[in-house]
Amino acid sequence: MNKAITDGLVFMPPQFSTGLDVWSSQDGTPGSATFDGAGNAALVPADQDFGGCLELLKTDATQKLRYMGQTTILPGCYVRVRARVKAISGNLPSVRIAAWAGGAGNAHVSGLNEVGPSVSLTAYGEVVEVSAIIGTGARGGVDMVWNNAAIYAHVGLDLTGSNGGAIRVDDLIVEDITSAFYRDMMDWVDVRDYGAVGDGVTDDSLAFEAADVAAAGREVVVPAGVFHLANHVSMSNPVRFEGTVTMPADQRLVLRGNYELRPYVEAFGDELLGFKKAFQALLNFSNHESLDMNGLRIDVDGPIDLQAAEGSKSTFEVRRVIRNGQFNAVASANWDPTVVTSQGTYSAASPSVLSNVSNVANIAVGSLVEGTGVGREVYVTERNVGAGTLTLSQPLHNAVGTQSYSFTRFKYILDCSGFSKFSKFTLTDVEFQCNSVANGILLAPAGQTFHLKDSFVTKPLDRGVTSHGRGCQDLQIDRCHFVSSEQQVAATARKCVAFNVNANDAKIRDNRFERFRHTGVLHGNGHVLVGNHLFQGDDLLDAPRLGGLIFTYPNVKSVITGNYIDNCSIEWTNEHDAAPDFGVEFSFGGLTVTGNIFTSSDAASWFNWIVIKPFGAGHFVQGLSVIGNTFKAINGSVDRIESVDTSIAGLDFGRSRNVVFEGNTFNSVTQATINPVTLEFNQNSNATHWTLNSGAYLPFQGWARNVASVVTEGPITNGAGATVFTQPYATTNYGAGNDQVQLTWSEPCKGRVVVTTRMDNPF
């Protein structure tokens, strides 16, 4: 900025040679005395140093020289006044630039500093320059800081000290030097001013850091060019990128002043690389706990290996968050699953190990294991190439010996498997557009409290969120929307699973799961599933349905509350057990199912919403509460709400205990399930033994193990019509199916009784 150029202002006073009638010996105001004809002033036409100049004889204590013209003072404009002087004879005075501050109405503005630094003359004939800067801002180097009341100045100089000396003064120079203050006036600094080259080769790391120090709260500008940063660079101030940067993968760019995704994308000129470098910074400094993706969509044509993007850590257990963005999978061969078929040997003595695995080096950690005797969602957690072994996420229930297995490594948009342990990581308001080509998220093999919330996992090819180890401990999925890629596929033909859990204490809350093969396969215990909507129906009539929530740990100690479970079942197994027959352990128990809405439409009549499938003999139910739920079939009825899948083994009903089915509502369900069940029985002919059949009502069509009460309604009468006052005794587990109760009276009689029967012992 130069007001002489931009606004046509004239700062320079006239040369002395044009006349002394505009040069005042006082303040320079109109009517003040001038040097024109004064006895102590004379023009010198040809000084050897100055050319034409003014010679003054000092006669006053403060000898003033002021230009009578008005030098404009503007806010934000800085004016420098300079003069070259030299002593000729007599006493040596001191010299300083001075000015008179004028305001509106030509009034003097008092209270301002109107003199610059004083310079003492020490030798005759020595040319000395004095200068001072006048401006309205208190910036470094401004000698006379004036307020906005001052709108012009009468500029000049003062001679102070002893009288009697003669000096010569060259023509005064008055100039706009606002540009000298640009760096202080602008809200940015340019890295080029601190040595950055931007040729893509020269290391500009130190220049970036120097610019950051100089910025002191202002923005750092990276202009057009390619700036190579060979070392870690940390910027405390906001950085604006017009050019781009390059740096080695293991070096970090930390933008503390504006840490979010957009500056990283601008810095590296690529969305995916920008995300990786931003994630690298997220795990390596403590100023920010979250990375805001600024609502940006990142197109990805292959998995993002988060550990490789960070590059230096194998474990991380400090809370970090990624929020507000979208990952969009682009079709590419990089998403193709890797499938390997190999032989391996399994022993129940080492339930989590496959040994003697052929071709083990080609089997990737995180691969899904399939084969005879392998339960659902079993993955490779570790690989030991030298020993030829694989560590599995779960035991195998019936695979002792040597056989062939298939190992399928799905490809995930975010792959955390490179970390050995990764905890307290949250994704919120993030959408994974898998587009039927990619999968969602692969967790680390170990870790706690991975949290996915307010996010979308849309059309994963095979899996939404996968745990191949115990990185799912305390997994939390809240208010998310999972949509499968198999909307038009029959339920039984689907392959995609929304999520799985191997460890304990998952919290799955307020989510929506749409048309997966299975919504969740959960091992471990302590799970809480609340407020979810899962539906797995299809467009077929009278069709089978599959399990929505699959629990693979018998004593699950879990709660299913307030969910909408539509066209799928709760399936309870022990398929992840190397010795599935009941032994020294807890059997099926610890499950509470309360306040849910169960629905089916166009389902086969033999469909059930609650299914127990033992994978070994001797198991029983030892704690199950199904209370306050609504069961409703649409477009057809179902036979009953629960069953035991006996395709491998059945349940031991002689050991059932603490099973409660009560307060439920049944709509288009042929047979209600109640325990304890209270039924009315009428005996119309005299008999000593009354056989009461309540088995159809009992859960899983179990045994009638317990009679809680027998209440007579009206008189019990004998053959003579007399009232029988004696009480009967009850025989439980009666009949071929052990599902009847026999009441034995003291004599043949008839009448009506209300009997409460249980299929369990209550404790």
Question: Cα(422)–Cα(307) distance, rounded to whole angstroms?
Answer: 10
Rounded Cα gap, residues 703 and 697, in angstroms:
11
Computed over its alpha carbons, how large is the radius of gyration of the chain? 45
pLDDT grade for 7, boundaries at 50, 70 and 90:
low
Question: In degrees to the nearest 10, what's the CA dihedral of 86, 91, 96, 99?
Answer: -110
Q: How far apart are CA 313 and CA 539, in angstroms?
A: 49
Q: Judge contact between 95 and 157, C-beta under 8 A.
A: yes
Grade residue 179 by pLDDT with cuts at 50, 70 and 90: confident
| Cβ partners under 8 Å of residue 423, min gap 6 | 316, 317, 447, 448, 449, 450
Q: Is the pLDDT of residue 717 over 60?
A: yes
Report the C-alpha gap between 458 and 499 in whole angstroms.
Answer: 13
Give the Å distances, CA to CA, from 42 to 35, 158, 162, 288: 8, 17, 20, 71
User: Is it the case that residue 131 has pLDDT exceeding 60?
Assistant: yes
Of 465, 559, 450, 561, whose CA–CA distance to 513 is shortest?
465
Q: Structure tokens of 157?
A: 């100089």
CB 534 within 8 A of CB 547: no
On the CB side of 337, CA atoms within 13 Å amount to 19
Integer CA distances (angstroms), 132 to 157, 174, 205, in order: 10, 10, 38
> In the predicted model, is pLDDT for residue 700 greater than 70?
yes
**Upper half-sphere CA count for residue 401 (Cβ side, 13 Å):** 7
When mean pLDDT is compared across 283-287, 376-380, 409-413, 488-492, the lowest value belongs to 283-287
308: left (phi over 0), alpha (psi -120 to 50) or beta: alpha
pLDDT digits (tens, 9 = 90+) for 498-519: 999 999 999 999 999 999 999 9
Residue 751 CB coordination number (10 Å): 20
C-alpha distances (whole Å) from 305 to each of 248, 416, 451, 608, 731 are 17, 6, 18, 41, 66
Please say if the pLDDT value at position 762 is more than 90.
no
- Does position 741 have pLDDT exceeding 60, yes or no? yes
| pLDDT score recorded for residue 9 | 80
Q: What confidence category does residue 287 fall into, taking pLDDT thresholds of 50, 70 and 90?
A: confident
**Residues 627, 665: Cα–Cα separation, whole Å:** 10
Please answer whether residues 651 and 612 qualify as being in contact, where contact means their C-beta atoms are separated by less than 8 angstroms: yes
pLDDT exceeds 50 at position 252:
yes
* pLDDT band at 5; cut points 50, 70, 90: very low
CB 469 within 8 A of CB 381: yes
405: pLDDT confidence band, cut at 50, 70 and 90? very high
pLDDT in tens, 21-42: 999 999 999 999 999 999 999 9
Residue 442, beta-bridge partner list: 415, 466
The residue among 533, 589, 534, 594 whose CA lies nearest residue 559 is: 594
Can you tell me the distance from the alpha carbon of 569 to that of 550, in angstroms, rounded to the nearest whole number? 8
Q: Is 70 exceeded by the pLDDT of residue 413?
A: yes
Cα of first residue to Cα of last residue in the chain, in angstroms, is 90
pLDDT at position 53 = 96
Q: How far apart are CA 45 and CA 50, in angstroms?
A: 9
**What is the percent of the chain where pLDDT is above 90?**
93
**C-alpha torsion sign, points 209, 214, 219, 220:** negative
Q: Which of 119-123, 144-148, 237-241, 713-717 has the lowest mean pLDDT?
A: 144-148
143: which 2 tokens? 């000698």
Q: Strands (DSSP E) along 412-502, which ranges?
A: 412-415, 421-422, 425-433, 439-442, 446-448, 451-453, 456-458, 463-466, 470-473, 476-478, 481-483, 497-501
Q: What is the structure's pLDDT at 185? A: 56
pLDDT of residue 389: 98
pLDDT reported for residue 1 = 45
pLDDT tier, 182 (very low <50, low <70, confident <90, very high otherwise): low
Q: Tell me the average pLDDT across 671-692.
A: 97
User: Tell me, what amino acid is at 625?
Assistant: S
Please report the pLDDT score of residue 178 as a whole number: 83
Confidence of residue 86 (pLDDT cuts 50, 70, 90): very high
- State the average pLDDT over residues 616-625: 97
At 678, is the pLDDT very low, low, confident or very high (cuts 50, 70, 90)? very high
**DSSP state, residue 673:** -
% residues pLDDT > 70 (the chain): 98
Between the alpha carbon of residue 394 and those of residues 373, 447, 469, 543, the distances in Å are 12, 17, 8, 31
Residues 32-78 pLDDT 10s: 999 999 999 999 999 999 999 999 999 999 999 999 999 999 887 88
Q: Which of 441, 433, 410 is nearest to 335 (CA)?
A: 410
Residue 140 predicted with pLDDT over 90: no
Instruction: Say what the pLDDT of residue 159 is.
Output: 97
Q: Is the dihedral of CA 549, 553, 554, 558 positive or negative?
A: negative
Using CA atoms, how far apart are residues 204 and 228, in angstroms rounded to an integer? 6
| CA pair distance 432, 337, nearest whole angstrom | 18
Q: What is the mean pLDDT of the chain?
A: 95
Residue 186 has pLDDT above 70, yes or no: no
pLDDT score, position 194:
85
pLDDT at position 99 over 90: yes
> For residue 214, what pLDDT band results from cuts at 50, 70 and 90?
confident
> Per-residue pLDDT tens for 306-337?
999 999 999 999 999 999 999 999 999 999 99
